[in-house]
Structure 1
């Protein structure tokens, strides 16, 4: 059987003007994972990344720390994260009717982490329900279809025992969980909130049959005994 390693990007710049930038911790997490995979003797036959900077920089950090032969990272934007800022903006007018302070929370998310998570969860539930689709906004169903297209392209080109690394994001991994194990979107997002930066989830495949082998492994971070490296956004 072949393996697909779904690697979430390192910690990004939560609360900054540009979230799509790895933080210093994000770069450190990437290097730690690369060293760990190298110690285990895990190598990749192919590496694929979404088009986002935080995904590609994570790929460079991980692969740069591995002693295996260098290889190019293919880019497939099917593995990009959904645009959370656009989802928030589209649903904000409805939210403000019951949560008048929501705009301030979203503008100053780093100072209101718990309240941000509560409101963001509410917005995500509206989005994935399919009952509040907005014109011009990628729906949850369209997002899942995009991710499915990326998975199908991986499988079409895969050799029987390939080990494929996919550097991606939490929402994309959530969509893949729904596709692979048939979990309801609302339940998938309960798992989404637990996905740790640079954690590894493994899929096994034989032809077009895909199964989940492991989820959210972060032993590489735990073994450092540095709790500050275990982050969720």
Structure 2
């Protein structure tokens, strides 16, 4: 029988950044611990061999990747030299939220961004902000349109697939980017893409496998490193 060609994309959403602070683009204390535990789990999987490693150019990506590199080096299984590719960067979420707040001044969940960051309210608000961006209503406030964002994610994904060939690419990126990969590979509509985006936990693992030209989702927001009672409280979504 012919050997089936398999390409694997293992996409990691960065560990928790510092949402609500003056410098979002750095890992929080919780995020540093998430990254450490994720790194330990990945390093303990002998079957995981990576043909290509790439990350976005943002600090939270670099900090998450550094933890993975350190854990792999500690067991004498260093990762391939990582490529930094800014096309894996997240969309500008701060401009999105500012633009949406100015456009939808009567949204009842806007105070949730200031008053305790109640998760259900924040997620509902983000869903409406994504929808407004998709209709073009926020293009004046954003450095790129939603279609431009989709296009650069496609370029980044194409490059990772090419470098992985019939192996596995390890990618450290962000939730919005990973959700756009899911949209393209699984033919999701916009509403489903937003749901996938908002359901992806910090440091969550997403695995896509292409067999004989067809992509399959194997894991979404997989958190084996936070699966014990001791570590479950470290889970976060923003």
- Relative to the length of structure 1, the TM-score reads 0.88
Root-mean-square deviation (Å): 2.2
User: Structure 1 residues 94, 54: closer, same or farther in 2, change over 3 A?
Assistant: same
2:173 aligned partner: 168
Cα 1:201–1:7 shift into 2, 3 Å: same
Displacement after TM superposition at 1:119 (Å): 2.6
> Equivalents in 1 of 2:229, 2:81: separation in Å?
29
Question: Which residue in 1 is equivalent to 2:149?
Answer: 143
Q: Deviations over 1:110-147 (max 9, x none)?
A: 4555543333322122112x242523621222111110
Length, aligned pairs only? 228
Cα distance in 2 for partners of 1:113, 1:2 equals 35
What is the deviation of 1:52?
A: 0.6
Residues 86, 54 of structure 1: CA spacing in aligned structure 2 closer, same or farther, 3 A cutoff? same
Question: Residue 125 of structure 2 is aligned with which of 101, 111, 119?
Answer: 119
Q: How far apart are 1:100 and its partner, in Å?
A: 7.9
1:192 pairs with 191, 197, 220, which one?
Answer: 197
Structure 1 unaligned regions, length at least 5: none
The yes-or-no answer on 1:63 pairing with 2:69 is yes
Alpha-carbon deviations, 1:159-192, whole Å to 9, x = none? 32x2210000110111001000001111111122
State the match for 1:232 in structure 2: 237
Question: Cα distance 1:158–1:115, how it changes in 2: closer, same or farther (>3 A)?
Answer: closer
TM-score when normalising by structure 2: 0.86
- CA displacement, residues 47-78 of structure 1 (integer Å, 9 cap, x when unaligned): 10001100111011122112212432111111
2: CA distance, partners of 1:204 / 1:77: 23
Give unpaired runs (5+ residues) of structure 2: 1-5
Further displaced range: 219-228 or 5-14: 219-228
- Equivalent residue of 1:228, what SS? helix
Offset at residue 208 of structure 1 (A): 6.1
